[in-house]
Amino acid sequence: MSSSPQTAPALPSARSAFGFEVGHRLEDTAAVPGERAAANGGRFGGRTGTITTPHGTIATPAFVPVGTQATVKAVLPEAMKELGAQALLANAYHLYLQPGAEVLDAAGGLGAFMNWDGPTFTDSGGFQVMSLGAGFKKVIDMSGAGAAGDDDVAAGKERLAHVDDDGVTFKSHLNGDLHRFTPEISMQVQHRLGADVMFAFDELTTLHNSRGYQEASLERTRRWALRCVAEHARLTGERAGKPYQALFGVVQGAQYEDLRRRACRDLAAMDFDGYGIGGALEKENLGTIVRWCTEELPEDRPRHLLGISEPDDIFTALENGVDTFDCVSPTRVGRTGAVYTPDGRFNVNTARFRTDFSPVFEGCDCYTCTHYTRAYLHHLFKAKERLSATLTSIHNERFIVRMVDGARAAMADGTYFDYRDEVLGRYYAGRA
């Protein structure tokens, strides 16, 4: 089944449809005051750039909103475009189970299927196979607390995924049917889904796993990456005529510097178009771990951080050299009534907004804030109307897009650290 990268067929010239160019480097453009520079050992890998795909370009750094099931929940694609989203990320695991990758292939790929003409990403399915499958629900326990265990299953959950050296057998969270993902199957599924950017199939570990398990897992992920590259090359040749799909390798290694750096060097030696930084990341180590990775990874390839959410984490990632990241929070918290503002997050459900006829925040240029009041949103939530999720999601997605647009502009004009401190200082002052 496995073939070495030496024997993999060369990718056709269609590959030139994907590319990445670095623009401004944070180190070159920002006047870094001593205190802030010291905080990071004086090294900042942040940069602006442009990712080119067959479905358009992405100005980086960029936030990639999540449309798990080929839809950003409750939001029309036209609204996503209007609020400034440059690309969308869908989940291979969900689309494989329902409606099936062959349906998207027949529709002309993910973008055509969901009426989104911009760039698209799919993850490999690894995260969902192992996180949903192992019963951790949607969020891997990243607390790092408690006893280390290599057979962790969230309390009260049946283990639904089994990892072996060849792949993962798991039960569908929809109906319990048994399925199997291998690196080859993940590549076949993602080629049929047709996104512009795909991710290699990797094993996700948690901070509860022992050091020994992390080492064994990382080696498994390395061998799976080689198999993904080979299968990707085969499929790219077989499906000539389809738009080129870029493949990103995924860096694991948990909280261990030597493992993270080794993983980056291993993946850098393979034929990837870009890289994903994955795995359990503790908030306090996020910047350090991202920096280990960006120091090792090739400068001329884009780096995507898989799944972060809080504004401070976003800035930490960007200044340490992350070009794109995905984040499900704006819609997830929006559906519960939580809205972001420059002064922090608040919940529009609460009684004090019943007769508040101001927008979510004055000065927001989103569709929701330019047309509706807090009182109206409050009413929609109380009445359990579906428009509530649509309007809060539009506002929240716009908030993150605008924040990252601001970071990109500030990196380009040399004011990044002032911008960051102003945004985060205000957001966490908690006046909302």
Q: Which residues are annotated as a binding site for substrate?
A: 123-127, 202, 252, 279
Q: Is 395 in the site for Zn ion (CB under 5 A)?
A: yes
Amino acid at 63: F
Q: Which is nearer to Zn ion, 328 or 366 (CB)?
A: 366
Q: Which of 409, 124, 422, 140 is nearest to 254 (CA)?
A: 140
Q: Is 322 in the site for Zn ion (CB under 5 A)?
A: no
Token pair recorded at residue 95? 């689309």
| CB 135 within 8 Å of CB 159 | yes
Residue 326 is a catalytic residue = yes
Q: Which is nearer to Zn ion, 226 or 394 (CB)?
A: 394
Q: Output the CA–CA distances (angstroms, integers) from residue 359 to 30, 335, 399, in the order listed.
A: 35, 17, 14
Amino acid at 281: L
Q: What are phi and psi of 67, to 5 degrees?
A: -120, 80
Residue 141 is a catalytic residue = no
Q: What's the rounded Cα separation, in Å, for the pair 120 and 51?
A: 12
Q: Is 366 in the site for Zn ion (CB under 5 A)?
A: yes
Residues forming the annotated binding site for Zn(2+)? 364, 366, 369, 395
- 331-350 burial, b at 16+ Cβ within 10 Å, e below that, comes to bbbbbebbbbbbeebbebee
Q: Which is nearer to Zn ion, 53 or 341 (CB)?
A: 341
Please report how close the Cβ of residue 350 comes to Zn ion at its closest, in angstroms. Answer: 18
Q: Is 64 in the site for Zn ion (CB under 5 A)?
A: no
**Which one is catalytic: 105, 117, 123, 323?**
123
| CB 95 within 8 Å of CB 68 | no
Token pair recorded at residue 200? 């290699």
Please report how close the Cβ of residue 348 comes to Zn ion at its closest, in angstroms. Answer: 11
Q: Which of 250, 206, 244 is nearest to 228 (CA)?
A: 250
Q: Is 197 in the site for Zn ion (CB under 5 A)?
A: no
Q: Which stretch binds Zn ion (CB under 5 A): 47-55, 97-105, 368-376, 384-392?
A: 368-376
Work out which of 79, 364, 389, 423 binds Zn ion, going by CB under 5 A: 364
Please report how close the Cβ of residue 93 comes to Zn ion at its closest, in angstroms. Answer: 32
Binding-residue total with Zn ion (CB under 5 A) = 6
Q: Which is nearer to Zn ion, 325 or 340 (CB)?
A: 340
Contact residues for Zn ion, defined by CB under 5 A = 360, 364, 366, 368-369, 395
Task: Cite the active site residues.
Answer: 123, 326
